[in-house]
Amino acid sequence: MQLRTFLTTAVAAAATLAFALPSAMAETKYKSEYRMSLVLGTAFPWGKGGEIWADKVRERTQGRINIKLYPGTSLVQGDQTREFSAIRQGVIDMAVGSTINWSPQVKALNLFSLPFLFPDYAAVDAVVQGDTGKEIFKTIDKAGVLPLAWGENGYREISNSKKAITKPEDLKGLKIRVVGSPLFLDTFTALGANPTQMSWADAQPAMASSAVDGQENPIAVYMAAKLQSVGQKHMTLWGYMNDPLVFVVNKDVWASWTPADQAIVKQAALDAAKEQIAIARKGLVEPGKPLVKDLEGLGVTVVDLNAAQRKVFADATKSVYTKWKPQIGTNLVDMAEKAIAGSRK
């Protein structure tokens, strides 16, 4: 009798295990490779951040999670503004993406494109690492993508092939390449420029052929892309906006990983983001801004606006700021403004 009971129990247990195993395996089924989307490659601080994240994840998971980088937003045929939707839909597994490029899908991200909101790096850190940053992460999460860490593309400075820019009038009629953001179009239109929307892949040939006169990007991007070689001989440091990056994962991919691996991927993102921000700011936070001297060594004329000059540009774009504040969310902008004021005490 005892033998029969034992056998019955054993058979039942085996049957339970047989049904349970496929389910458990399905829940933890890993892809052989995960696709990470990036706008810029590893020669740039942006792409370097993605590479550091991928390397840390592969090492810390002993190869369970292997990530391949896809720069040039190649998974969406170079259309930067489609990237966020593609992550949500699962076309892209992971990304280090720009708040600018994702702002059409997540209105709150336009906060960082408000002209002349962030006076310095301390202001940026106070916003992204504080309560405002947490609120924005909640919004990204609700939009269907899981955010893990804040990185940084940097302050976007303006260059052109025509002349030094020291006041808003100098921008009148200049054809400036911008990304596909309505807020960017409003800002440059308010300054009298002719903003022209195009992808980064199209921008460099357009500058080389003089189809556009100028562009705005962080100095690190300018340097890595060697934009002085396509006629961009005049650079103005006006710090009109800072472009934070966000390290994200598709939610279904995240759910397919064990809790232990989820923790590893998140910590790797935080660690990589910290390193990436340091790379993006290198040469700009040290005394004398060595990166600016490097620029001048390339034959570039550099204008570094003082606070009074910067205020003239801020005043010229005040109507844009006022128009967009309620669209972004008055409470969110107020929260950011308060954090920035606190960082200056």
**136-164: per-residue pLDDT in tens?**
999 999 999 999 999 999 999 999 999 99
DSSP reduced 3-state for 178: strand
Per-residue model confidence as pLDDT tens digits over 68-79? 999 999 999 988
**What tens digit of pLDDT does each residue of 87-136 get?**
999 999 999 999 999 999 999 999 999 999 999 999 999 999 999 999 99
pLDDT of residue 179: 86
28 pLDDT band, cuts 50/70/90, is low
Mean pLDDT of the 176-194 span = 94
Q: How far apart are CA 83 and CA 74, in angstroms?
A: 10
User: What is the average per-residue pLDDT within 233-257?
Assistant: 97
For range 298-323, the mean pLDDT: 97
When pLDDT is averaged across residues 167-192 and rounded to a whole number, the result is 95
Give the model's confidence band at 15: pLDDT under 50 very low, under 70 low, under 90 confident, else very high.
very low
Give pTM, 2 decimals: 0.88
Residues in the chain: 345
Cβ-contact 56, 268 below 8 angstroms = yes
Cβ proximity of 276 and 49 under 8 Å: yes
Nearest to 136 by CA among 250, 268, 246, 262: 246
Q: Where are the alpha helices (DSSP H) in 76-199?
A: 83-89, 99-102, 121-128, 131-142, 182-190
User: What 3-state class would DSSP assign to 73?
Assistant: coil
What domains does the chain contain, in order, with CATH numbers? 31-153+244-281 (3.40.190.170), 157-241+284-343 (3.40.190.170)
Interval 16-34 mean pLDDT? 60
Through-space distance between the first and last CA atoms of the chain, rounded to whole angstroms:
82
> What is the 8-class DSSP label of residue 286?
S
| Residue 96 to residue 54: CA distance in whole angstroms | 11
**Cα separation of 55 and 42, whole Å?**
12
Using the predicted structure, report yes or no on whether residue 244 has a pLDDT greater than 90. Answer: yes
The three-class DSSP label of residue 190 is helix
**Strand, helix or coil at 269?**
helix
